[in-house]
Amino acid sequence: MTLETIQREKIKDALLTYRQQFDGTDRKFANKFGINESVFSLIKRGKGSVKKLADDEWVRVGRILKVPLNEGVAWDVVKTETFEYLTRQFAHCKQHSVARLFVDKADIGKTTAATYYMLNNPNVFYIDCSLVKGRRDFIKALATQVGVKAIGSLQGMIEDIGYMLQATRKPLVILDEAGDLKYEAFLEIKALWNALEGACGWYMMGADGLKKKIELAMHNLKVGYAEIFRRFGNGYNCVTPQNDKVALQQFMRQQAQHVIGVNLPNVDERKIIVKDNLSLTRVKENIIKERSLLKRAS
C-alpha cells in the first residue's frame, strides 16, 4: 500500500498526540509500535519526518490508533448508554486498581468504548484477545502494549510486564473478547493479577460465550477459573436489560438511533435499520453505504 503524504502526517499527528497519554520513556513508547527509538526521535522533530517510516509501518500505527485514512468514512464516536456505562467502569477500575468482568450481548459497542478510552486516557493498555488466543501470543501482545520488549523467555517477559506496570501511574489493562483465550493464557491473567494486586486495574469483556466458558470451567472444577472469577469482582456486569426481549429491543433501537443521529442526521432511519437489524456493526455499515450514495448523488 502506498500512502499519500497527508495520510502519513495524519497518522503522525495521532501518534504524537497519543504519546501524551503514555507515562513511560520514548523508548518504551516506541516499543509499543515496533518503531526504532532513534526513528521515533526524528519523527518528534517534525517536518519531513514521515519519510522515516515505511508505508507498511505507518499503516500498522494508523490501524492501532484507529486513524481513518479515507475522509469518506470519518466517524464520530457516539456516547451511547453502553459507552457511558463502560467508561464509568473503566474509570473505577483504573482509579482503585481493581478488576471487573463485563459479559453482555455482542455488537452493542463494547470495543468502541474500550479503544476510545485507551486512546484518551493515560496508561490504558488494550488487548484484543481474539487475535492472541494462546499463552505466548497473549503475553507478547501485553508486553508490547506496556512498552517492554516482546522477546526472550516467556517468564522474562512476564516479569518485565509486572515490573513496568508496577512503575506506571494508575495502569489499566482492558481484555476484550476474553472468551477466545485458551486455558493457559487465562492462568497467566491470574498470575499477573496476583503479582500486581493493588497496583493495576483490570477489565475483562466478552459476549455470552465468555460467561458460559467461565461457568462450565468452574462447574468442572477447572483450576484457575474460580480464582479469576473472585479476583474480577465475583460477578458479571452488563448494561442491556436482562430477560426482557421488549426492553432489550428498545435499548438496541435507542442506541442505533443515537448513532444514526450523530453520524447521518436528517436521514430516514428505515434506510439504515433494515428488518430491525440493530447491531451497531450493521448500522455503521449501512450509514457508510448511505453516505456514499448521497455523495455520488450530490
Q: How confident is the model at residue 82 (pLDDT cuts 50, 70, 90)?
A: very high
Q: How confident is the model at residue 73 (pLDDT cuts 50, 70, 90)?
A: low
Select the more confidently predicted residue: 71 or 159. 159
The pLDDT of residue 50 is: 67
Cα–Cα distance between 53 and 39 in angstroms, integer? 8
Least confident among 192-196, 209-213, 258-262, 267-271: 267-271
The residue type found at 235 is G
The dihedrals phi and psi of 127, each to the nearest 5 degrees, come to: -125, 125
The pLDDT of residue 32 is: 86
Residues 6+ apart with CB under 8 A from 201: 90, 93, 94, 95, 96, 97, 98, 99, 170, 171, 172, 173
> Does pLDDT of 131 surpass 60?
yes
The H-or-E segment that residue 48 falls in is none
The pLDDT of residue 58 is: 85
Sequential DSSP letters for 114-127: HHHHHHHSTTEEEE
Average pLDDT over residues 188-203: 94
Select the more confidently predicted residue: 181 or 22. 181
Q: How confident is the model at residue 295 (pLDDT cuts 50, 70, 90)?
A: confident
Select the more confidently predicted residue: 183 or 50. 183
Average pLDDT, the chain: 90
The pLDDT of residue 37 is: 87
> Does pLDDT of 71 surpass 70?
no
Residue 87, CA atoms < 13 Å, CB-side half-sphere: 16
**Per-residue pLDDT reduced to its tens digit, 229-240:** 999 999 999 999
The pLDDT of residue 46 is: 72
**pTM, two decimal places:** 0.89
Please give the torsion angle defined by the CA atoms of residues 1, 58, 43 and 140, in that order, rounded to the nearest 10 degrees.
Answer: -140
> Does pLDDT of 95 surpass 90?
yes
The pLDDT of residue 239 is: 97
> Does pLDDT of 250 surpass 90?
yes
- Site of grid cell 470519518: 74
**Per-residue pLDDT reduced to its tens digit, 8-54:** 888 888 899 999 888 888 988 888 888 888 888 888 887 556 677 88
**Per-residue pLDDT reduced to its tens digit, 266-275:** 888 888 998 8
Average pLDDT over residues 134-148: 94
Select the more confidently predicted residue: 90 or 55. 90
Cα–Cα distance between 272 and 257 in angstroms, integer? 9
